[in-house]
Structure 1
Amino acid sequence: MPDYPDYMVRPMAEADVIAVERLTSDAFYDYDVRTHRTGLPEPSRRAPDRSVNWHLRAKHIVQHDPGGCFVAEDESGIIGVAMSLRRDLTWILATYAVRPGLQGRGVGKQVLDAALTHGRGCLRGMIAASEDTPAVRRYRLAGFSMHPMMFLMGTVARAALPVVERVRPGSAGDIDLMNSVDRQVRDAAHGVDHELLTSMYRLVVADRSTGSGYAYVEPGGGPYLLAATNRRTATDLLWETLAASSPERTVTVGRLTAANEWAVDVGMAARMALHTEGFLALRHQKPPTPYLPSGHFL
C-alpha cells in the first residue's frame, strides 16, 4: 500500500479490531459531543457490552471481506479506518472514522478510496452517513445520492401496543427465507451476515401467504434490522420489536427514510418523538422499503 508523509495505509487485520473499536468509539463520541442537540440525551461513549458486540461484527467483516477493510497508521498507532463489504452486487460501507484532531491530513480520503476498490464491479452502493461535512462531500464525489434520514426516540406507550399475530421466533433455519426477502427489498442478500446475527440477536419472523419478513430485536427493544415484502408485514414486525421494551426504557428506531413512513406512523402511534439525523447514501438504487437498515450491515 502507498506511504504518505507521516502515515501509511494498509489492509486491516483481525489483530487490529480492538484498536479500531477504540478509535471508532472516540471518533463517534467526539462527533456526538460537537453536534449535540438540546433536548436529546447527553452523548456517551460506547458501553462495554456494545464494544464486545462491535468486536464480533468487525471480526466477521474482516474475515469475510478482507479486501474491503483498511487502516491508516502512524508512529502513534491506528489513526483512521474504513471497513466495507460486498453482498451480491452491492458494496456497503460498514464503518469509517478518523482519530479526533487529525482531520485535514487526507487520512479519511485515503482509507475511503482504498475501501472503495472493494466495490469494483458492484452495481449498487449503500452508506449510513452522519452529517459530517467532509465525509458527506467524499460520498457525493464517489457518486452517492444523499437521502435524509430520521429516527424515533422515546418510551413506548404500552396501551398503544396492538396484538400481533402470526409472528414467530426465528432461527438460523430461516436464513434462506431472509435472504429471499433481502433480495426483494434491497437487491442484495445479507448472506453470511445472517449467520452471525442469528447468534447475536433475538429474531422474529413472519412467513405468510400475504407477505414475509423478519426483524432482529435489540436487547432493550426496537429493531436492529428489519425487512419485509410489504408494509403490513413490516408494521407487525416493528410493533413486535417495540413490545420487547420495558415501560421505562427509552427506545430508538433509527435510519428511517421518507420511503419508510409506515415506520414513522408506528412510532407516532407508540407516542415516540421524531427527529432528523444523517443520510442514507445510495448509489444506483432507491431507498429500500419496507426496510430499516442496521448500522454495520445496512
Structure 2
Amino acid sequence: MSATVITRPMSPDDVNGAAAVGTAALEVLYPVEFRPDDAATRAEFARRSRARVGHIRDRDPAGAWVAELDGEIVGVALALVREGVWGLSLFGVKPGLQGQGIGGPLLAGALRAAEGCRAAIILSSSDPRAMRRYFRAGFRVRPCLAAAGELNRTRIPAGLRARPGDLESEADRATIDAASRFVRSASHLEDVGAMIAAGGQLFVIEGAGWAVGRDGAPAIVAALDDETATDLTWSCLAAGDAGAPTHIDFITQGNDWAVAVALDAGLSLTPDGPTFVRGELGPLAPYLPSGAYL
C-alpha cells in the first residue's frame, strides 16, 4: 500500500461511505443464511446501516472516525457514550486491506472518547485481530454463546405478558430507563427511537423490562428479572415470520435464561464473539445487548 492512509474524524459527508465499509467488513462474518440475498433486502440492510452511522455520528461526533485512502473511505470506528458508559458500535476495515495498520489508529481515535468514562463495553466479532486489539486496550474478556436456526413455533409459550411499547408513554420511557440502568448502568432511551426506525418493534412489560425485536429476533433485551427477560425474548421470536431463520446473539455468563429460551425454541448453540468490558458496568444480566447500541 504505497498511498498514505489518513485517519480523521467522520464528517456528515462520510456517513454513506463509512456505512458501506462497515457493512462489507461485518457481512463476511455473518452466517450465510443471515446475509441479504436479494436487491430489496440488501437495500434495506444498507439503509439501516446508514441510519445507524448517521445517528451515532450526530450524537457522538468525538467517537466517530474514518480512514481515507486516495479519497475513498476504507475504515470506520464508531463509538457512543451514554451516562458515562462508552461503547464501540462499529469497527471495520475494507476487506482486502485488513492487517495493514489501518485499524489501530481508528480504534485509538474512538477510544479517546472513552477518556473520563467510568465504564466501557465492546461486542466483538470472532476476528482474531479485533479481539487482540480490544484485550490490549485494557478490556476484560467475557465469552459468549449465540443461538440460531428455525423457531419451533409450537413451543411459543401461551400468555406472554409483553405488549407493544410506545415511546410517547412516560411509563414505557421510565421502564426503559430503569431496566437499562439496572443491567448496564446507563439508559438506552436515547437510542430506542433509532432502533425502531431501523425496523425494530418495541416490547414492554411495564416496570419490569423492555426489548426491541427485528426480523423475528431479539435485537436487545433488558429486564429486572429472568422471568421478564424470558417473556420479552419469546415475544421477539414470536413476532417473526414462520419458517424464517432466527438468532439470539451475545449470550454472556449470567444469562442462562437465554440459553433455556434458545434450546426450548429449537435453536442450536454455537460460540459467539466475546464481550469485552472495562470499569464497572453492572451485572449485564438479564440482558441481551444490541450490536449497534450495546
TM-score (norm 1): 0.90
1:8-47 equivalences under 5 Å are 8-31=6-29, 41=33, 47=42
Aligned partner of 2:204 in structure 1 is 205
SS at match of 1:94: strand
Aligned to 2:54: 59
Change (3 A) 1:268 1:249: same
Distance 1:243 1:133 in 2: 34
Counterpart residue number, 1:276: 271
Aligned to 2:178: 180
Note if 1:146 corresponds to 2:141.
yes
- Cα deviation code 1:149-176 (max 9, x no counterpart): 1111112112211113432210112223
CA contact (8 A) 1:164 1:236 kept: no
Give the CA deviation at 1:177.
Answer: 2.0
Q: Which amino acid aligns with 2:210?
A: Y
Superimposed CA distance per residue, residues 12-45 of structure 1 (whole angstroms, 9 cap, x where no aligned partner): 012111111221222223445xxx7xxx748557
CA apart distance, 1:76: 4.4
The DSSP-based 3-state class of the residue aligned with 1:163 is: coil
Which residue of structure 1 lines up, in the alignment, with residue 93 of structure 2?
Answer: 98
2:248 aligned partner: 253
Q: Secondary structure at the match of 2:255?
A: helix
Q: CA RMSD in A?
A: 2.0
Superposed CA deviations along residues 231-252 of structure 1, whole A, max 9, x for unmatched, are 0010111111111123211111
CA contact (8 A) 1:257 1:287 kept: no
Q: CA deviation at 1:105?
A: 2.7
Task: Report the CA distance shift for 1:233/1:73 in structure 2 as closer, same or farther (over 3 A).
Answer: same
SS of residue matched to 1:119: coil
Alignment of 1:151-166 (within 5 A): 151-166=146-161
Aligned partner of residue 44 in structure 2, secondary structure: helix
Partner of 2:127: 132
Paired letter, 1:202: Q
Counterpart CA distance in 2 for 1:71 and 1:58 is: 11
Classify 1:31/1:264 alpha carbon distance in 2 versus 1 (closer, same or farther; 3 Å): closer
Task: Please point out which of 5, 8, 15 is paired with 1:7.
Answer: 5
Give the SS at the match of 1:121: coil
Aligned match of 1:292? 288
Indicate the residue corresponding to 2:213 in structure 1: 217
Q: Hey, what's the Cα distance between the residues in 2 that align with 1:269 and 1:149?
A: 19
Q: Which residue of 2 aligns with 1:73?
A: 68
Q: Work out whether residues 164 and 240 of structure 1, in 8 Å CA contact, stay in contact via their aligned partners in 2.
A: no
For the 8 Å contact 1:175–1:194, the answer to whether it is kept is: no
C-alpha separation in 1, matches of 2:258 and 2:273: 17
The answer to whether the 8 Å contact 1:79/1:98 transfers is: yes
- Residues 7 and 105 in structure 2, CA contact (< 8 A), matched pair in contact too: yes
Query: Does 2:193 correspond to 1:195?
Result: yes
Question: CA distance change for structure 1 residues 44 and 199 in 2, over 3 Å: closer, same or farther?
Answer: closer
SS of corresponding position for 1:262? helix
Give distance in 1, aligned partners of 2:49 and 2:159.
31
User: Could you say if the C-alpha distance between residues 42 and 255 of structure 1 is closer, same or farther in structure 2, counting changes exceeding 3 Å?
Assistant: closer
Deviates more, 1:13-22 or 1:78-87: 13-22
The 3-state SS of whatever aligns with 1:102 is: coil
Any idea what SS the aligned residue of 1:106 has?
Answer: coil
Question: Post-superposition shift, 1:287?
Answer: 5.5
The residue type paired with residue 203 of structure 2 is V
- Name stretches of at least 5 consecutive residues in structure 1 with no aligned partner: none
* CA 222–30 in structure 1, closer or farther in 2 if over 3 Å, else same: closer
Query: Could you state the TM-score of these two structures normalised by the residue count of structure 2?
Result: 0.91
- Is the CA contact (8 Å cut-off) linking 1:153 and 1:274 kept in structure 2? yes
* Cα pair 2:161 2:231 within 8 Å, conserved: no
